[in-house]
Each structure stands twice: as C-alpha cells, then as structure tokens.
C-alpha cells in the first residue's frame, strides 16, 4: 500500500511541473497584459512542434502586450488585441526566437499564427537573447 501511495505522489509531481495551455508562466517577469476591448481583433497561436512553447507578442514598438504557455499540438487565442503590428517571440526549449514576419492586426480581424519546424524554413525565425524576450 505504501509503495502505491509513493508511486501516485511521484506521478502527480512529475505532471505538476508542466503548465497548461493558457498559463501565464512568467507573469512575475512581465508588466500587466495590454487589451483593447472594442477592437474585436484576435490572434490564434497553433503549436505544431514536438514540445511546449511560451509565446510573447509585442506591438509595433516592440513593447510587451501579452504572453502565454502553449502545449504541443494545442492552440491558444489572444482576444481583444490592440490595432497594431504584432511581433511574435517565443521560447522553445532553452532558446529564444522572434518571427521575421510582422502580423498586422486591424479592427475586427481574426489572424492565425502556426509554429512548426521545417529545416528548409529555418530562416523564418532568428534567435534573440533572454533579455530581449523578457524586456517590458
């Protein structure tokens, strides 16, 4: 009976380390989220890579807007985004990246951004520093 209890406890602790999609994993390192309740704009993030990622979206001046944890093969939608150009940064394993493309968010638009790994498309992202990722 005792071994069964230890096995259950150990299993639950292992799974407790992994976040859920939508978690604000680094909320203590970022300012409050920025929203625009009347814009009607959204950006859906789809994670198709084989590991979890943390997404940061920034405005056209690279100021922090929001961040979120997204599990592998899941998606998350940022709603009520300000009308601006969006830069997408992400933490993948121990590396930090930024997408080379800028997403333009207009009034009422619903955009989609898919993370995928394709060796032939490696030029789509460039590596950034941890400091750039966590700047306000």
15 pLDDT above the threshold of 80: no
What is the chain's percent helix, strand, coil content, to nearest 5?
Answer: 20, 40, 40
- Per domain, the residue ranges of the chain are 20-134
- Residue-wise burial string across 58-97, b where 16 or more C-beta atoms lie within 10 A, e elsewhere: bbeeeebbbbbbbbeeebbebeebebbebbbbbbbeeebb
In terms of Cβ atoms closer than 10 Å to its own Cβ (0-12, 13-18, 19+), residue 99 is: middle
What is the per-residue pLDDT for 73?
Answer: 94
Q: What average pLDDT does the structure give for the chain?
A: 86
| Mean per-residue pLDDT, 12-39 | 84
If pLDDT is split at 50, 70 and 90, which confidence band does 18 have?
confident
Pairing type for strands 84-92 and 53-58 reads antiparallel
CATH number for the domain whose boundaries are 20-134? 2.60.40.10
| Mean per-residue pLDDT, 54-83 | 96
If pLDDT is split at 50, 70 and 90, which confidence band does 125 have?
confident
If pLDDT is split at 50, 70 and 90, which confidence band does 93 have?
confident
Q: What distance, in Å, lies between the first and last C-alpha atoms of the chain?
A: 51
Reduced to 3 states, what is the DSSP secondary structure of residue 107?
A: coil
DSSP E strand boundaries for the chain? 42-47, 53-58, 64-70, 75-79, 84-92, 95-99, 103-105, 110-115, 125-128
12 pLDDT above the threshold of 60: no
| Mean per-residue pLDDT, 104-127 | 80
What is the per-residue pLDDT for 88?
Answer: 94
| Mean per-residue pLDDT, 79-83 | 95
């Amino acid at each position: 009976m005792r071994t069964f209890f230890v096995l259950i406890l150990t299993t639950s602790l292992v799974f407790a380390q992994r976040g859920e999609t939508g978690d604000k994993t680094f909320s203590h390192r970022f300012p409050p989220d920025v929203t625009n309740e009347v814009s009607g704009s959204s950006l859906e993030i789809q994670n198709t890579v084989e590991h979890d990622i943390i997404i940061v979206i920034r405005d056209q001046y690279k100021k922090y807007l929001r961040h979120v944890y997204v599990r592998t093969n899941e998606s998350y939608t940022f709603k009520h985004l300000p009308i601006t150009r969006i830069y997408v940064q992400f933490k993948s394993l121990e590396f930090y990246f930024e997408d080379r493309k800028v997403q333009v968010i207009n009034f009422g638009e619903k955009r989609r951004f898919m993370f995928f790994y394709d060796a032939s498309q490696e030029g789509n992202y460039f590596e950034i520093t941890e400091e750039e990722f966590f700047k306000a």
